[in-house]
Protein backbone atom coordinates (compact mmCIF):
# COMPACT_ATOMS: atom_id res chain seq x y z
CA UNK A 1 0.00 0.00 0.00
CA UNK A 2 1.31 3.43 -0.93
CA UNK A 3 2.15 5.91 1.86
CA UNK A 4 -0.22 8.83 2.33
CA UNK A 5 0.87 12.19 0.98
CA UNK A 6 -0.05 15.41 2.76
CA UNK A 7 -0.71 18.74 1.06
CA UNK A 8 -0.46 22.08 2.83
CA UNK A 9 -3.51 24.34 2.82
CA UNK A 10 -3.79 27.96 3.90
CA UNK A 11 -4.06 26.88 7.54
CA UNK A 12 -1.02 27.04 9.82
CA UNK A 13 0.73 23.75 10.49
CA UNK A 14 0.82 22.79 14.16
CA UNK A 15 2.58 19.40 13.80
CA UNK A 16 4.79 18.29 10.88
CA UNK A 17 6.74 15.06 10.44
CA UNK A 18 8.71 15.02 7.19
CA UNK A 19 10.42 11.97 5.65
CA UNK A 20 10.77 10.25 9.02
CA UNK A 21 12.88 7.12 9.32
CA UNK A 22 13.71 4.98 12.36
CA UNK A 23 16.35 2.29 12.53
CA UNK A 24 18.03 0.69 15.53
CA UNK A 25 20.77 -1.21 13.70
CA UNK A 26 22.49 1.44 11.62
CA UNK A 27 20.13 1.20 8.66
CA UNK A 28 20.08 -2.53 7.98
CA UNK A 29 16.41 -2.63 8.98
CA UNK A 30 13.97 0.26 9.09
CA UNK A 31 11.09 0.25 11.59
CA UNK A 32 9.71 3.45 10.02
CA UNK A 33 10.69 4.73 6.59
CA UNK A 34 9.64 7.74 4.49
CA UNK A 35 6.80 8.71 6.82
CA UNK A 36 5.05 12.06 6.51
CA UNK A 37 2.38 13.43 8.85
CA UNK A 38 0.73 16.83 8.90
CA UNK A 39 -1.75 18.27 11.40
CA UNK A 40 -3.07 21.75 10.72
CA UNK A 41 -4.29 24.25 13.28
CA UNK A 42 -8.04 24.76 12.88
CA UNK A 43 -8.88 28.07 14.61
CA UNK A 44 -11.57 27.92 17.30
CA UNK A 45 -11.87 24.17 16.87
CA UNK A 46 -8.56 22.36 17.12
CA UNK A 47 -8.28 18.83 15.81
CA UNK A 48 -8.93 15.43 17.35
CA UNK A 49 -6.69 13.03 15.44
CA UNK A 50 -6.74 9.32 16.24
CA UNK A 51 -3.96 6.98 15.11
CA UNK A 52 -4.80 3.31 14.58
CA UNK A 53 -2.50 0.49 13.58
CA UNK A 54 -1.37 -3.01 14.40
CA UNK A 55 0.87 -3.54 17.42
CA UNK A 56 4.44 -2.65 16.56
CA UNK A 57 3.53 -0.21 13.80
CA UNK A 58 5.15 2.73 15.61
CA UNK A 59 2.14 4.66 16.89
CA UNK A 60 3.67 5.38 20.30
CA UNK A 61 7.01 6.18 18.68
CA UNK A 62 5.38 8.98 16.69
CA UNK A 63 3.98 10.49 19.88
CA UNK A 64 7.44 10.37 21.45
CA UNK A 65 8.83 12.27 18.46
CA UNK A 66 6.21 15.00 18.84
CA UNK A 67 6.78 15.19 22.60
CA UNK A 68 10.54 15.50 22.08
CA UNK A 69 11.20 12.32 24.07
CA UNK A 70 12.79 10.50 21.11
CA UNK A 71 14.59 11.65 17.97
CA UNK A 72 14.05 9.83 14.65
CA UNK A 73 17.05 8.40 12.83
CA UNK A 74 16.25 10.67 9.90
CA UNK A 75 13.73 13.30 8.94
CA UNK A 76 12.31 16.46 10.50
CA UNK A 77 9.85 17.00 13.34
CA UNK A 78 8.35 20.49 13.71
CA UNK A 79 5.80 21.87 16.16
CA UNK A 80 4.35 25.27 15.24
CA UNK A 81 6.90 25.42 12.45
CA UNK A 82 9.92 25.03 14.74
CA UNK A 83 12.10 22.17 16.00
CA UNK A 84 10.95 20.92 19.38
CA UNK A 85 12.49 22.55 22.46
CA UNK A 86 11.80 22.02 26.20
CA UNK A 87 10.14 25.44 26.31
CA UNK A 88 7.24 24.12 24.22
CA UNK A 89 6.06 21.96 27.16
CA UNK A 90 4.39 19.25 25.10
CA UNK A 91 2.87 16.76 27.51
CA UNK A 92 1.89 13.15 27.03
CA UNK A 93 -0.72 11.01 28.82
CA UNK A 94 0.24 7.33 29.00
CA UNK A 95 -1.80 4.20 29.65
CA UNK A 96 0.27 3.63 32.79
CA UNK A 97 -0.50 6.01 35.64
CA UNK A 98 2.15 8.72 35.63
CA UNK A 99 1.38 10.70 38.78
CA UNK A 100 3.98 10.96 41.53
CA UNK A 101 2.51 9.07 44.52
CA UNK A 102 4.41 11.08 47.13
CA UNK A 103 2.68 14.26 45.94
CA UNK A 104 -0.91 15.34 46.37
CA UNK A 105 -3.37 15.72 43.52
CA UNK A 106 -2.89 19.50 43.68
CA UNK A 107 0.90 19.20 43.56
CA UNK A 108 0.78 16.73 40.66
CA UNK A 109 -1.50 18.89 38.53
CA UNK A 110 0.67 21.96 39.17
CA UNK A 111 3.95 20.14 38.55
CA UNK A 112 4.56 21.54 35.07
CA UNK A 113 3.99 25.07 36.34
CA UNK A 114 6.52 24.42 39.09
CA UNK A 115 9.12 23.50 36.46
CA UNK A 116 8.21 26.69 34.61
CA UNK A 117 9.02 28.71 37.73
CA UNK A 118 5.44 29.80 38.50
CA UNK A 119 5.08 30.90 42.14
CA UNK A 120 3.24 28.55 44.47
CA UNK A 121 0.16 30.71 45.09
CA UNK A 122 -0.49 31.20 41.38
CA UNK A 123 0.40 27.58 40.66
CA UNK A 124 -2.07 26.23 43.20
CA UNK A 125 -4.81 28.57 42.02
CA UNK A 126 -4.44 27.55 38.38
CA UNK A 127 -4.10 23.86 39.29
CA UNK A 128 -7.26 24.05 41.39
CA UNK A 129 -9.21 25.51 38.47
CA UNK A 130 -8.17 22.54 36.34
CA UNK A 131 -8.94 20.08 39.13
CA UNK A 132 -12.49 21.40 39.22
CA UNK A 133 -12.80 21.05 35.43
CA UNK A 134 -11.87 17.36 35.50
CA UNK A 135 -14.17 16.58 38.42
CA UNK A 136 -11.58 16.04 41.15
CA UNK A 137 -12.61 18.80 43.54
CA UNK A 138 -12.50 17.46 47.08
CA UNK A 139 -9.59 15.13 46.28
CA UNK A 140 -6.90 17.80 45.87
CA UNK A 141 -5.21 17.03 49.21
CA UNK A 142 -5.10 13.26 48.69
CA UNK A 143 -1.92 11.56 47.58
CA UNK A 144 -2.04 10.59 43.90
CA UNK A 145 -1.79 6.83 44.26
CA UNK A 146 -3.85 3.70 43.79
CA UNK A 147 -6.03 2.59 45.64
CA UNK A 148 -6.46 5.96 47.39
CA UNK A 149 -7.69 7.15 44.00
CA UNK A 150 -9.23 5.05 41.22
CA UNK A 151 -7.63 4.49 37.84
CA UNK A 152 -10.01 6.96 36.24
CA UNK A 153 -9.16 9.60 38.83
CA UNK A 154 -5.43 9.09 38.26
CA UNK A 155 -5.92 9.58 34.52
CA UNK A 156 -7.92 12.75 35.22
CA UNK A 157 -4.84 14.03 37.07
CA UNK A 158 -2.64 13.28 34.06
CA UNK A 159 -5.03 15.03 31.67
CA UNK A 160 -5.36 18.07 33.96
CA UNK A 161 -1.58 18.33 34.34
CA UNK A 162 -1.04 18.06 30.58
CA UNK A 163 -3.64 20.68 29.69
CA UNK A 164 -2.31 23.05 32.32
CA UNK A 165 1.20 22.69 30.86
CA UNK A 166 0.10 23.16 27.25
CA UNK A 167 -3.61 23.41 26.37
CA UNK A 168 -2.72 23.72 22.66
CA UNK A 169 -1.41 20.17 22.17
CA UNK A 170 -2.34 17.00 24.05
CA UNK A 171 -0.70 13.66 23.21
CA UNK A 172 -2.43 10.53 24.51
CA UNK A 173 -1.07 6.98 24.25
CA UNK A 174 -3.91 4.50 24.91
CA UNK A 175 -4.87 6.46 28.03
CA UNK A 176 -8.11 4.55 28.70
CA UNK A 177 -6.89 1.05 27.87
CA UNK A 178 -6.67 -0.13 31.48
CA UNK A 179 -10.02 1.30 32.61
CA UNK A 180 -13.29 -0.56 33.10
CA UNK A 181 -16.03 0.12 30.57
CA UNK A 182 -18.04 2.53 32.74
CA UNK A 183 -14.97 4.61 33.62
CA UNK A 184 -13.77 4.49 30.02
CA UNK A 185 -17.06 5.96 28.77
CA UNK A 186 -16.90 8.68 31.44
CA UNK A 187 -13.34 9.54 30.42
CA UNK A 188 -14.28 9.70 26.74
CA UNK A 189 -17.06 12.16 27.54
CA UNK A 190 -14.75 14.22 29.77
CA UNK A 191 -12.10 14.39 27.06
CA UNK A 192 -14.59 15.54 24.44
CA UNK A 193 -15.90 18.25 26.77
CA UNK A 194 -12.35 19.50 27.42
CA UNK A 195 -11.60 19.47 23.69
CA UNK A 196 -14.64 21.64 23.04
CA UNK A 197 -13.56 24.05 25.79
CA UNK A 198 -9.86 24.41 24.93
CA UNK A 199 -9.95 23.76 21.15
CA UNK A 200 -6.80 21.71 21.60
CA UNK A 201 -5.04 19.61 18.99
CA UNK A 202 -5.28 16.08 20.39
CA UNK A 203 -3.26 13.17 18.98
CA UNK A 204 -4.77 10.01 20.43
CA UNK A 205 -3.49 6.44 20.01
CA UNK A 206 -5.88 3.54 20.59
CA UNK A 207 -6.57 -0.03 19.45
CA UNK A 208 -10.30 0.40 20.02
CA UNK A 209 -12.01 1.14 16.69
CA UNK A 210 -15.35 2.20 18.21
CA UNK A 211 -13.49 4.60 20.52
CA UNK A 212 -11.56 6.00 17.56
CA UNK A 213 -14.71 6.75 15.57
CA UNK A 214 -16.47 8.24 18.58
CA UNK A 215 -13.64 10.64 19.47
CA UNK A 216 -11.95 11.58 16.20
CA UNK A 217 -12.61 14.03 13.47
CA UNK A 218 -9.73 12.42 11.55
CA UNK A 219 -8.43 8.84 11.75
CA UNK A 220 -5.06 7.85 10.31
CA UNK A 221 -4.13 4.18 9.96
CA UNK A 222 -0.56 2.86 9.97
CA UNK A 223 0.91 -0.25 8.43
CA UNK A 224 4.23 -1.71 9.52
CA UNK A 225 7.35 -3.33 8.09
CA UNK A 226 8.36 -0.56 7.58
CA UNK A 227 5.70 1.65 9.17
CA UNK A 228 3.86 4.38 7.33
CA UNK A 229 0.43 6.01 7.11
CA UNK A 230 -1.67 4.34 4.43
CA UNK A 231 -5.29 5.36 5.13
CA UNK A 232 -7.08 8.55 6.16
CA UNK A 233 -10.73 8.45 7.25
CA UNK A 234 -12.62 11.69 7.74
CA UNK A 235 -15.20 11.12 10.48
CA UNK A 236 -18.33 12.82 9.21
CA UNK A 237 -20.17 13.10 12.51
CA UNK A 238 -21.23 16.23 14.46
CA UNK A 239 -18.34 17.75 16.42
CA UNK A 240 -20.47 17.73 19.59
CA UNK A 241 -20.97 14.09 20.51
CA UNK A 242 -22.81 12.27 23.25
CA UNK A 243 -23.58 8.64 23.98
CA UNK A 244 -26.51 9.00 21.56
CA UNK A 245 -23.92 9.44 18.78
CA UNK A 246 -23.05 5.76 19.19
CA UNK A 247 -26.62 4.89 18.19
CA UNK A 248 -26.40 6.90 14.98
CA UNK A 249 -26.41 4.59 11.90
CA UNK A 250 -23.60 6.69 10.41
CA UNK A 251 -21.45 5.94 13.49
CA UNK A 252 -22.08 2.20 13.16
CA UNK A 253 -21.33 2.35 9.44
CA UNK A 254 -18.01 4.11 10.05
CA UNK A 255 -16.98 1.58 12.72
CA UNK A 256 -17.56 -1.24 10.24
CA UNK A 257 -15.68 0.59 7.48
CA UNK A 258 -12.65 1.21 9.68
CA UNK A 259 -12.75 -2.39 10.90
CA UNK A 260 -12.70 -3.65 7.30
CA UNK A 261 -9.74 -1.39 6.48
CA UNK A 262 -7.81 -2.59 9.54
CA UNK A 263 -8.37 -6.24 8.58
CA UNK A 264 -7.29 -5.54 5.01
CA UNK A 265 -4.10 -3.81 6.14
CA UNK A 266 -3.26 -6.60 8.60
CA UNK A 267 -3.34 -9.12 5.73
CA UNK A 268 -0.84 -7.23 3.59
d(CA 123, CA 156): 18
pLDDT on residue 268: 67
**Average pLDDT for consecutive 10-residue bins of the chain (268 residues)?**
82 94 93 95 92 92 94 95 82 86 95 89 96 96 94 94 91 92 94 94 96 97 92 94 94 97 86
pTM: 0.93
pLDDT on residue 250: 96
CA distances from 162 to 10, 67, 181, 233 (A): 29, 12, 23, 27
Sheet with strand 228-234: strands edge to edge? 91-93, 169-173, 201-205, 47-53, 218-223, 228-234
d(CA 4, CA 23): 21
pLDDT on residue 224: 85
**What is the distance between the terminal CA atoms of the chain, rounded to a whole angstrom?**
8
CATH top-level class of 1-85+212-268: alpha beta
pLDDT on residue 7: 80
pLDDT on residue 31: 93
d(CA 31, CA 117): 39
Amino acid sequence: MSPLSFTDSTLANIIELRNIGQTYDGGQNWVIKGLDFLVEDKPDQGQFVVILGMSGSGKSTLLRYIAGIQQPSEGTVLVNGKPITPEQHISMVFQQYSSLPWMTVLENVGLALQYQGVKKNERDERAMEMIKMVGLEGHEKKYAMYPTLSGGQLQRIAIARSLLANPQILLMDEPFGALDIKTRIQMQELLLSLWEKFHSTIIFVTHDISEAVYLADDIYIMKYAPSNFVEHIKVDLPLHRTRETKRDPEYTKLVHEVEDIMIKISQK
